[in-house]
């Protein structure tokens, strides 16, 4: 199952990356580029310029003075007949009219005969081909087909779902890696006795608070912790009794962090054991640990008072 999930995640990421890169490149070439760099793009629809330009290629043209056009140039211009569409063909003759205008005759490289018209260039500039980008035009034309337009919404929804699932699975894997694995053999079976090391932890924590903040605030904070300890214990007990996972995690983490901040290492460790049991939904183990909390808390308060008095 995990192997299949990994394959789907990779597939979704690859598809999303390819679509994103393709969209960005197409948008930059067709929408942004002409405004920034002053070129024009046109999709070749026929094979009249093969093999140099094939159907579906995008022709990139830049403006140049009309008077500089010469035989051999490939230009894009409006034909003077029918629908006046834009045609991209090679110049085979340049005609300087008496009125100062310039006309051209053109022919497709793949055509046996010249185009059956003479086109007068409009304005002072002509658009000359500078580059050909293959295949992009095919994608644009495909997007305009009824089938794609009718189904693109569902395709986008499917891609979004695949991306969303890949993100959820990746996040779950990260959480599993970060989640501590409980060690039942290490769970305490009795309340440990007070030691010099536990007393030293209070001194170190309160000294840190005094140095980082203020000595008076360290004493005030320790007093606040003592006042709030009973309510914290009640929250842990109630959450474990009702098997409320979210409430249990919230209350036990609050107890663990606040106890560590004043140096109550035994109480903080006990909270950590409860946290591990709750994560594994081992509620019976959590019940046993919660039952020992009042004793640990009572001794922790006594040690804190002793430390403050010293």
- The answer on 114 and 59 residing in a single domain is yes
The span from the CA of 209 to the CA of 226, in Å, is 16
SS3 119: strand
Kind of pairing between the strands at 119-120 and 102-107? antiparallel
Please check whether residue 60 lies inside any domain of the structure.
yes
Is 202 domain-assigned? Answer: yes
Whether residue 171 is found in the same domain as residue 56: no
Whether 202 and 278 map to the same domain: the answer is: yes
pLDDT value at 196 more than 60: no
Backbone angles phi, psi at 242, to 5 degrees: -90, 0
4 burial type by CB count under 10 A (0-12 exposed, 13-18 middle, 19+ buried): exposed
**Smallest Cα–Cα separation from 134: which of 56, 41, 19, 234?**
56
30 vs 236, higher pLDDT: 236
Asked if residue 34 and residue 154 are part of one domain, the reply reads yes
140 found inside a domain? no
* pLDDT for the residue numbered 164: 64
Q: Please tell me the distance from the alpha carbon of residue 185 to that of residue 187, in angstroms, as a whole number.
A: 6
Sheet strands (E) in the chain: 40-43, 58-65, 74-78, 86-96, 102-107, 119-120, 125-133
15: in domain: yes
**pLDDT score of 148:** 53
pLDDT single digits (tens) 45-71: 889 999 999 988 889 999 999 999 999
Q: Which domain holds residue 296?
A: 195-309
Say if residue 122 is in the same domain as residue 157: no
pLDDT tens figures, 107-121: 999 999 999 999 999
Q: Which alpha helices (H) appear in 29-145, and where do they start and end? A: 33-37, 136-143
Residue 154 pLDDT: 60
Instruction: Examine the domain organization and report whether 209 and 303 are in the same domain.
Output: yes
Task: Tell me the sheet residues that pair with 61.
Answer: 40, 129
Which is more confidently placed, 167 or 299?
299
pLDDT for 237: 93
Residue 151 makes CB contacts below 8 A (sequence gap 6+) with: none
124 and 62, same domain (yes or no):
yes
Least Cα distance to 305 among 269, 251, 272, 263 occurs for: 263
CATH value at residue 207 = 1.20.120
Percent of the chain with pLDDT over 70: 72
Q: Bigger pLDDT: 78 or 203?
A: 78
**Quick check: 55 and 47 in contact, CB under 8 A?**
yes
Q: Which two tokens stand for residue 14?
A: 């690859």
Q: Is residue 184 part of a domain?
A: no
Which residues in 184-208 are b (16+ Cβ under 10 Å) and which e? eeebeeeeeeeeeebbebbeebbee
11-50: buried (b, 16+ CB within 10 Å) or exposed (e) per residue? Answer: ebeeeeeeeeeeeeebeebbeeeeeeeebebbbbeeebbe
**For residue 83, which phi and psi values (nearest 5 degrees)?**
-90, 5
Which pLDDT score is estimated for 151? 60
Q: Are 150 and 116 within one domain?
A: no
């Amino acid at each position: 199952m995990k192997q299949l999930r990994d394959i789907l995640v990779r597939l979704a990421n690859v598809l999303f990356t390819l679509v994103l890169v393709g969209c960005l490149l197409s948008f930059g070439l067709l929408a942004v580029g002409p405004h920034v760099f002053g070129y024009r793009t046109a999709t070749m629809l026929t094979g009249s310029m093969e093999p140099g330009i094939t159907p579906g290629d995008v022709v990139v043209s830049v403006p140049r003075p009309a008077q500089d056009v010469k035989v051999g140039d490939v230009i894009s211009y409006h034909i003077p007949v029918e629908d006046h569409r834009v045609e991209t063909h090679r110049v085979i003759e340049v005609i300087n009219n008496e009125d100062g205008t310039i006309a051209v005759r053109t022919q497709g490289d793949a055509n046996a005969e010249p185009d059956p018209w003479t086109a007068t260039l409009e304005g002072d500039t002509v658009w000359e081909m500078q580059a050909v980008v293959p295949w992009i035009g095919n994608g644009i034309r495909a997007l305009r087909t009824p089938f794609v337009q009718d189904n693109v919404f569902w395709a986008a929804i499917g891609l979004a779902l695949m991306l969303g699932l890949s993100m959820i699975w990746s996040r779950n894997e990260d959480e599993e890696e970060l989640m501590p694995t409980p060690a039942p053999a290490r769970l305490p079976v009795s309340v440990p006795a007070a030691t010099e090391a536990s007393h030293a932890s209070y001194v170190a924590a309160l000294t840190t608070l005094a140095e980082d903040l203020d000595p008076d605030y360290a004493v005030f904070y320790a007093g606040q912790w003592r006042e709030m300890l009973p309510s914290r214990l009640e929250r842990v007990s109630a959450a474990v009794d009702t098997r409320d996972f979210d409430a249990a995690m919230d209350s036990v983490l609050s107890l663990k962090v606040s106890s560590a901040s004043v140096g109550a290492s035994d109480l903080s460790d006990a909270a950590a054991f409860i946290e591990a049991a709750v994560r594994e939904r081992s509620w019976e183990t959590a019940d046993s640990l919660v039952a020992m909390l009042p004793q640990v808390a009572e001794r922790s308060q006594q040690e804190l008072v002793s430390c403050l008095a010293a």
